[in-house]
Structures are given as C-alpha cells and as structure tokens.
Amino acid sequence: MQFPILSVLTIIPLLGALFIATLRGDEAIVAKNARWVALWTALITFALSLVLVFNFDAANAGFQFMERAVWFAPANIYYVRGVDGISIWFVAASALLTISAILCSWNSITTRVPMYHMALMILLTMMIGVFSSLDLILLFVFFEGVLLPMFFIIGIWGGSRRIYSSYKFFLYTMLGSLFMLLAMLTIYVQTGSTDLTALINHHHLPLNIQVWLFAAFFLSFAIKSPMWPVHTWLPDAHVEAPTAGSVILAGILLKMGGYGFMRFCIQLLPEASQLMAPLVMILSAVAIIYTSLVALAQQDMKKMIAYSSVAHMGFVTLGLFSFTHQGLDGAMLVMLSHTIVSAALFLCIGFMYDRLHTREITAYGGLANITPHFAVVMMFFTLASVGLPGTSGFVGEFLSMLGAWQTHPTITAFAAIGVILGAAYMLRLYRACCFGVPATQDVRRMKDMTPREWAIFAPLLLLVIWMGVYPTTFSSFYQANLQSILTPAHHGAVK
Amino acid sequence: MNPFLQDAIVFAPELILLVGALGALIAGTYLQDGYAAAQRLAYITFAGALIVLLSAPAGGAVSFGLNFAATAATQFAKIWVMAACIGTLALSHHALGRLQVQRAEFPVLILLSALGMCLMISARDLLALYVGIELQSLTLYILAAFVRQSEQSAEAGLKYFVLGALSSGLLLYGISLLYGATGTIQYESLIRFISSGAPNMAVTLALVFILAALAFKISAAPFHMWTPDVYQGAATPITAFFTTAPKVAGAMVLLQLLAGPLAGAHAVWAQILWATAALSLIVGAFAALMQQNIKRLLAYSTINHVGFLLMAILAGGQDGNAALLTYLAIYVVISLGAFGAILLLQQEGEAAEMLTDLRGLSKRRPRIALAFAVLMFALAGVPPTAGFISKMYVLLATMHAGYNWLAALGVVTSVVAAFYYLRVIKLMYFDDAPVSNVMPSIRPSRRLTALLFLTVALTFILMIMPSAIIGPATAAAQSIGY
C-alpha cells in the first residue's frame, strides 16, 4: 500500500494541537512552548506538503495520492482522499500561511496562548481536509469544521465587536453550507454515491436537478468566496479578527469558495453552470465594480483589503464561468496570487497595527522614510494587488479577463473598470501610509522590520515575483485538469 | 418446553427489572442505609438487564399470546433505555445529596420507569402499550416532584401530572375508538383491518387522538407546553432522565405503531406527522432564543431534536428507521453528557442555573467548559461531532423519502438553533466573569468526570467510526414493520 501522505498531513496538526493541550506549568513557559510546538508542527506539515508537490505527476489529470477506506458502511459513503493539480496548491498554501499566521501572532497574542495555537492547528487540519477530500460528506465535515476554530479565533482574540462578527461569520457560512449539505444528499439520493471521482466520471445528472443543485451549491460558495450581495460578513469578520485570523480567512477560507465553484459547479454540474454563467458573470462584474468603489471609501485599512478581496474573487468567478481555458487558468492564478497577496497585505496591516494599534489609514504617513524596508515590502504587495506586470496579480487577472472576453465581452468590459478602481484604492492606501508626512509623533518612533517579520514576508515576496515572472511553475500542474474539465462542458455547449 | 418458561425467556429483561425494583424497594425500606443499598441494587439490575439484552439472540420472539414481542429493534431501544437509566443513576448521586433527597425511592422509581418503557417498546397490543405508558408516566410524575422541599419541583410534578393525565385519557379514548372501528386491539390483527381499503372516519379520529397523546409523551410541538416548566422545576439529574429515556421509548412506540398496525393509514398520519415535525423544529429553534435558564434552553433544544426524530419516523423505510435508531442512540449520549457537564459544574460549586452563570467559565473550569462546548456543538449538529452524523442520516432518509421541504426546514431551523448553542459557547469563552464571582471550593466527582469524558469521547468516536452505531441500528431497523 502507498504511504497515506494526505491522512498523515491531516493528522500532524491535530497531534500538534493535542501536544499543546498537554503542556503544563508556568503560564509564560507554556505560552512559549505552545508557540514553538505550533511553529514546528506547521513547518513539518509544510515540508510534507512540499514532498507532495514534488512527487506530483503533472501530466496525469486524475486524482493522485488516493486513499480509500470504508467510513459509513450501510450508506455508500467512503473515506476518500486525493489531490489533483488544482487542490494540491491549496494544501501547500494552507500550511505556508499557517506558518505566517503563527509567526505574526508571536508577540501580539498574549492571552490564552496555548488555546490560540490549538485553534490554528485544528484550523490547519480542517483546511487540508477540505482540499484533499474526495467524498462529498467527508468534504462537508471539513468544510463545516473550519468554522469552529475560526469562530473561536475571531470571538476570543478579536477586536471590540468580535462577538457580533464571530456570530455573523458562523451563522452566515453555516446557512450556506447546510444548503450545500442538502444538495450533497440529493446527489446521493439520485446516484447512490458520494464519491467525487465516480460522480465526475460516471454519473450524469439530469438538467432540472442540476439547476436546483447548482442553486444550493452556488449559495454556499457565493457566501464563502464571498460574492456580492452575500459578502457582508467578510468585512466584519476581517476587521475584528486578529491579524492571523485575517490572513487565513483571506488566504485560504475564501479560496474554499473558489475551489468549490470549480469542483462542484463547473466540474460536477457543467450544464447548469453553463446555463447560469451569464448570471454569475453579471454578479461578478457588479461585485468587482461595487466593492472596488466601497473599498475606495474606507478609512479602515482592513476593511479596505476585505472589500478588495471580494473584488478579486469576482475575477475568479468571472474567469471560471467563462468556460474557456484561459478563463479557468486565470481564475486559478488569481486565486493563488490572491492567497499570497491578500495574506501579505493583512500581514502588512498587522505590522503597522502592532506598532501603533490603529488601522485608520490617516493615522500613518511617511513610512517610506521611517521604516524604509517595510515600505518596499508593502510596495511589492500593493503593486501585486493592483496587478502590475511582473507580479503575480497581473497574469491571473489578464488571463481571466481574456477568457471572459471571448464569451461575454460586455460584462468583461465592465469588470475591467474594476482594475482601474483597484489601482486607485490600493495606491491611495499606499500613498497615505508610506508617503507624505507622519500623522503623529508616534509614527516617527515606529521601528522597521525585525528578523521575525522578514521571515514572514520573505517567502511571500519570493512567491509573488516567481508567480509573476514564471507562472508556468504553478500553472503547469493543473493544465491537464482544466483540459479535462472543459472537454465535457464543451460537449454540452457545442451541439 | 414449558410455555410459561418460553414466555419468561422472551420477557427476561423485564423480569430482571421487576425483581430488581421490588428487591430495591424492600432493601430500601428495611436496611439501615436504604438509599445506598437500593442504588447498588439498581446498578446491578440494570447491568444484568443490559447483559441479557446484549447476549440475547435478536430473533423476533413473541410471547403472552401475541401481546409482547422481542425483536432486534426493541432490543436496540431497550439497550439505550438501560444506558440512559445507568447514566441517570450516575448523574444523580451527588445532586440528590446536595438537595437532601437521597432516598431509596429514587432508584426504585427509575427501575419501575425503565420497566414501563420496556413494556411500551415491546407491546404488541394497545392495552399492553397503555399499561406500559402509564407505568412509565406515573413514575415520571413522581420523579418530577421528587425534591419535596422545593416548590418548583412540586409545581413541575403537578403540571406534568395534570397534563399527562389528559394525554393518557386521549390515548385511551383513541384506543377505544380504534377498538370500536376494528374490534381488536392487537397489532397483528389491526394490520388486516387498517391496511384494507381507505381508513374510515373512526380510524382517522382514533389516529388523531393516539398521535396527540404520543406527541405529548415525547414533547413534540404543539403538545410541548409542559416541557420547559417540568425541565426547569425538576432536579437536574431527573431532567436528564426526562430528556433521554422516555424519548427513546416514546419514539419507538410511535415508530412501531405507524410502521406496523397503522401503516395502512399512512395517508392520514403522514400529514399529521409532517405538521408536528415541522412545528417541533420551529418551536424548538425559535422559542429557545429568548431563554435565560439553561434547563429551559435544553428543553427547547429537546423539542427541536424531537422534530428530527419525527422526520425520521415520517421518512420511514429501511433508511428512516435506521436513522431514527441512530439518532436516538447518539442523542442519548450527547444529552447525558450535557447534563453531566451541568451537574459536574454544580458539584464543583458553580451555580450553572442561568445561562449567565456560565460567563467566563473557560477560565475557571477550562476542561469542563471544553467538554460542554463540544457537547453543545454536537447538539447543534456541527461536524466533527456525532451530532452531525445523526442529523445528516435523518436528513438523508427524509430526502430519500421525498420530503425535501421538510429537510430544508430542518436545515434552516438548525441554523437558528445554532445561534443559541453558540450563545452558550460565547458566554463560556468570549465573556469575562463578573468581578463578584469568587472561586468556590472544589468538590470534584470522579463518577461525573468519567461520564463526561466517556460521552465526549463517544461524540468523536461515533463521528470517526459511525458504522459502530449505524451498523447495529440498520440491523435492528430490519425487524421493524410487518
């Protein structure tokens, strides 16, 4: 039997959490140990996920590293794990961003430190689980399981309106995911299977059922990704969450929505997705323009990045529902880029917040002189978010619009306005923070990057440039998958 | 073999309970420390009954004419009734001591009540069923009023008795109508009369009365009014008992009646059951939002869960029956755990009466708070807990049977219900304790801790290995119906 690498990947963080739970003794020492245990666990998980990446066969469009066991005997539900070129990157990214999350809360989280790191570890388990489960019910367990640690992270270590935000986050996403559960159960009732590989390859659902299923899945992922007009939980959750919470939320949790669209809407329900594509694309365009305008008006930096995330996810859905190779490719790249860039931008805000304890855009200024290293780092991520050629943001947005243009040029033209607006609000943010004169004396006393912070930003910086200059490294993994996704879909469209 | 002996073998668990109850009664009356003796005897009796149940072959044996049956399904249900009773005994020891009602009658009443439930579950004759239900109900009334010094407890007992008597009357009236219409009260012969042709008016009326009475017994809306008051008034371990064992017995009676003799009148009872299930789901979710008392909250939570039980009964078929049995078993585990957590808190000196008493609990009692949080998530049906497995299975069966809108309602009310479960978590984890809250002395209880640990462990184990419970439930479900 093959080494069950995916199960091991899932269990390691859980073991880390259990280990932290057993730590006893003086509070300060326990806190210190908890941080180190969490960090090492995340590092090991990340290293293992790199093993996964290096052993991946990009030419194979099927699922790899498959594991299968009986889970739910009388019903036909199995424990099936596996990754393809699409999900493998999210597994690695989950581990990477968890490392960033642990490092960025090294000094800023001071209360209930062991519990905090346990929550992060459990979160990591759940995230890896979501991206590597191939049984609908199993996937749902992880998908919903993500809510629990995040609920605690926002609710315990969040800001002043943390309770409202954590409730909103939990209930909003739970409502969406429970409709997804109903859809999954319908699939089971219809086909007698919840095995994603079998469903994709062997079963074909009639269109009238597909449309209902699409509605349920769409609601769930539209909330998760989030799309306008069900995005309202996101700004609240981001503003109140601690930096690490925002990093994971923007970096990984939103991608579950995009991943879900890809797997369940496009891949599993191709006809219904085609049918609904214009609606989704219009919603995406509205989201891009509307949330960009809203972002332009924000005074709170986190809120601004939160709205910009909605806009960026709009490019993902725009590309996905174009049903062209470029569009799907672009959507994937936007997601991967946004994983790194939004996480990094939240880390930048965390950097400033740790020093001045405010997220008001106007409270800073002149950082280019005061903390020059930081200003350079932030510039990279700002430009990547704007989509400057040479950074990761450009390739994805360009391809996604190129794909969308082929099928829906008018909608794409509107969406393109969002690119300009994106540049406007990001540059406004950067100008207010880094140029001009410092708003207060406190700003002048800000210290530049510490080695710990360099350690957080350096890998993200490297990835942003790598992805911008040579995206093929990443995109070559899923080309075969995209091809196989599009082939049946086109059959439906052409006839 | 001697026919009496043959009957006795089928009837063995009930006989053990009967002998145990009488023995405990005598021991409790004549021995010095009557309570301790009766309690020990009760444990032994339940263990004996459990062993007999677990070792007995699951054949569909019938005895006492055709009035009593022991099938795989009754066996399964009885095992969980026994589990609930043993759990209640373990929960009650310290609490009764605190309330100064460690009296020998308590174990005796639990034993008699368990006997009543077993009779209900196995009854294959409406009068036998009635006798079982009455034995169970009368002991429950006394248990509700068991804390004699407390006005609340007396009120709970009285309320329960008056309303319970009404529902028993309804049941008897329904039975007599059914007898009038068909001329029989035996399940076996009822099938022939009811499955032939469209149900006439008398059968329909009888059905309405019987269903209303049984809905009262399992506290399904709109017959749930007594539940919050009785739950709040009764002593906490007794509330735990009300939450678990009678629900198992009541749901089993309902299932066996509807899938058995009344299966022919499906068109009639399906509508009633649909409405009752939907109302229970809604009442259980929305009415709980405003509650301030933990036990009242759990009362409404029970009503919501009963909605899921009714959904499973309505779904019927192999899937629905297995889903019901699975749900009952997991529900017993989670509920015992939740009450165990409350009682452990009270044992350690916490008030744990109002929701606000839980404020800042995660700092004072991190482990109990964690266990309670897990159980709350399990009650809410959030994965990765066993509560998810049971809810999902019921939803699956409901959708399989084509009741898609009811399943959607179940999902929506689950989200509403999640709100109040989250509130418990919020109070424990997000809020800080008021300053005046002094650390009380700690009197830990090993048996409560063990029970709590066991239930929390099961909540996870049954999630990871659902087959451990679904397997036996499916096997048991095959014996339901004719």
What is the per-residue DSSP string for B22-78? Answer: HHHHHHHHHSTTHHHHHHHHHHHHHHHHHHHHHHS----EEETTTTEEE-HHHHHHH
pLDDT of A401 > 80? The answer is: yes
Q: pLDDT per residue over B211-241, tens digit each? A: 999 999 899 888 888 899 899 888 899 999 9
Q: Distance between the two ends of chain B, CA-based, in angstroms? A: 27
User: Is the pLDDT confidence value at B53 over 90?
Assistant: no
Task: Please tell me the predicted confidence (pLDDT) of residue B282.
Answer: 93
Instruction: For residue A265, give the nearest of A214, A311, A310 by alpha carbon.
Output: A214
Residue with the bigger pLDDT between A232 and B6: it is: A232
pLDDT in tens, B60-95: 677 776 778 888 888 899 999 999 999 999 998 888
| Partner residue facing A144 (CB), from B382, B395, B408 | B382
Tokens of A329: 């490719």
Q: Which of B239, B229, B253, B113 is nearest to B171 (CA)?
A: B253
Contacts of B415 in chain A (CB under 8 A): 171, 174-175, 178
Per-residue pLDDT of B356-412, as tens digits, reads 888 888 888 888 889 999 999 999 988 888 999 899 899 989 988 889 899 989 988
Query: In this complex, is the C-beta atom of B289 within 8 Å of any C-beta atom belonging to chain A?
Result: no
Helix (H, G, I), strand (E, B) or coil at B186: strand
- CA pair distance A398, A410, nearest whole angstrom: 16
- Between residues B199 and B26, which one has the greater pLDDT? B26
Check residue B198 and give its pLDDT.
Answer: 64
- Mean pLDDT over each residue of chain A, to the nearest integer: 85
Q: For residue B450, how many other CB atoms are within 10 A of its CB?
A: 12
CA nearest to A192 within chain B: B400
CB pairs under 8 A between A and B: 86
Handedness of CA A429, A433, A435, A437 (dihedral sign): positive
How many CA within 13 A on the CB side of residue A94?
Answer: 31
Q: Say what the ipTM of the complex is.
A: 0.85
Nearest chain B residue to A125 by CA distance is B384
By the CB < 8 Å criterion, does B400 face chain A? yes
What single letter denotes the amino acid at residue A73?
A
Tens-digit pLDDT profile for residues A82-124 = 888 888 889 999 999 999 999 888 888 888 888 899 999 999 9
Residue A77, beta-bridge partner list: A72
pLDDT of B51 above 70? yes
Q: Is residue B393 less than 8 Å (CB to CB) from chain A?
A: yes
Question: Min CA distance, B242 vs chain A (Å)?
Answer: 30
CB contact under 8 A, B471 and A74: yes
CA closest to B396 among chain A residues: A185
Nearest Cα of chain A lies from the Cα of B146 at a distance, in angstroms, of: 39
Interhelix angle B151-182/B201-217, rounded to 10 degrees, is 160
Rg (CA), chain A: 21
What percent of chain A has a predicted confidence (pLDDT) above 70? Answer: 98
CB distance B418–A171 less than 8 Å?
Answer: yes
Judged by average pLDDT, the poorest of A197-201, A210-214, A485-489 is A485-489
Please give the Cα distance from B296 to B231 (Å, whole number): 6
pLDDT-wise least confident of A43-52, A169-178, B205-214, B473-482:
B473-482
What's residue A33's pLDDT?
86
The answer to whether B392 contacts A137, with C-beta atoms less than 8 Å apart, is yes
Q: Which of B383, B396, B429 sits opposite A152 (nearest CB)?
A: B429
Length of chain A as a residue count: 495
Q: Which residue of A has its CA nearest to B405?
A: A182
The widest CA-to-CA distance across chain A, in whole angstroms, is 71
From the list A259, A387, A256, A257, the residue with the least C-alpha distance to A328 is A259
Neighbours of B52 (CB within 10 A): 18
Q: Exposed e or buried b for every residue in B386-424, given b needs 16+ CB within 10 A? A: bbbbbbbbbbbbbbbbebeebbbbbbbbbbbbbbbbbbb
**Residues of A engaging B, defined by a Cβ cutoff of 8 Å:** 70-75, 137, 140-142, 144-145, 147-148, 151-152, 155-156, 162-163, 166-167, 170-171, 174-175, 178-179, 181-182, 185-186, 188-189
B470: nearest CB among A73, A163, A167: A73
Contact B411 A189 (CB under 8 A): no
Tell me, rounded to whole angstroms, the distance of Cα B255 from its chain centroid.
14
How many residues are listed for chain B in this entry?
A: 482
Task: Tell me what pLDDT residue B435 has.
Answer: 62
Structure tokens at A447: 């210290």
Q: What percent of chain B has pLDDT over 70?
A: 95
CA B186 – CA B188 distance, rounded (Å)? 5
- Over residues B190-203, the mean pLDDT reads 74
pLDDT for position B209: 92
CB contact under 8 A, B419 and A167: yes
Cβ-based contacts of A219 with chain B (< 8 Å): none
Provide the pLDDT confidence category of residue B199 given band limits of 50, 70 and 90: low
Cβ contact B124:B66 at 8 Å: yes
- Residue from A67, A211, A144 nearest B392 by CA: A144
pLDDT by residue (tens digit) across A440-457?
Answer: 887 778 888 888 888 888
B415 close to A (CB below 8 A): yes
> In this complex, do B384 and A145 lie within 8 Å of one another by their Cβ atoms?
yes
Q: Residue B482 pLDDT > 70, yes or no? A: no
In DSSP terms, which residues pair with A69 in a beta bridge? Answer: A79
Any chain A CB within 8 A of the CB of B399? Answer: yes
Q: Who among A74, A151, A189 is closest to B322 (CB)?
A: A74
Q: Is A441 exposed, middle or buried (0-12, 13-18, 19+ CB in 10 A)?
A: exposed
Phi and psi angles of residue B142, each rounded to the nearest 5 degrees, phi first: -65, -40
Query: Please, is A29 exposed, middle or buried when counting C-beta atoms within 10 Å of its C-beta (0-12, 13-18, 19+)?
Result: exposed
B121's tokens: 């579950």
- CB contact set of A411 (below 8 Å; sequence gap of 6+): A278, A281, A282, A284, A285, A318, A404
Query: Does B395 contact chain A (CB < 8 Å)?
Result: yes
Residue A68: beta bridge partners?
A: A80
Chain B residues in contact with A167 by the CB 8 A cut-off are 419, 422, 426
- Is A71's CB within 8 Å of B471's CB? no
Q: What is the pLDDT of residue B165?
A: 92
Q: Count CA within 13 A, CB hemisphere, residue A317.
A: 37
* Mean pLDDT of the B468-475 span: 86
The mean per-residue pLDDT over the stretch A398-405 comes to 87
Q: Which residues of B touch A113 (CB under 8 A)?
A: none
Q: Are strands B68-70 and B61-63 parallel, antiparallel or unpaired?
A: antiparallel
Question: What pLDDT is attached to residue A495?
Answer: 31
How many Å lie between the alpha carbon of A202 and the closest alpha carbon of chain B? 21
Tell me the CA distances in angstroms from A106 to A102, A243, A353, A354, A459, one per residue in order: 6, 11, 14, 11, 18
Q: How far apart are the first and last CA of chain A?
A: 44
Chain B residues in contact with A188 (beta carbon < 8 A):
396
Chain A residue with minimum CA distance to B401: A189
Q: What are phi and psi of B296, to 5 degrees?
A: -65, -40
- Output DSSP code: residue B426: I
Is B322 an interface residue toward A (CB < 8 Å)? Answer: yes
Axis crossing angle, helix A409-434 with helix A301-320, rounded to the nearest 10 = 160
> From CA B366, how far away is CA A118, in angstroms rounded?
14
Mean pLDDT, all residues of chain B: 87
Cβ proximity of B332 and B388 under 8 Å = no
**Range 423-452 of B in CB contact (< 8 A) with A:** 425-426, 429-430
Which residues make Cβ contacts (< 8 Å) with residue B96, sequence separation at least 6? B102, B103, B106, B235, B237
Q: Are A464 and A380 in contact (CB under 8 A)?
A: yes
pLDDT computed for residue B195 by the predictor: 67
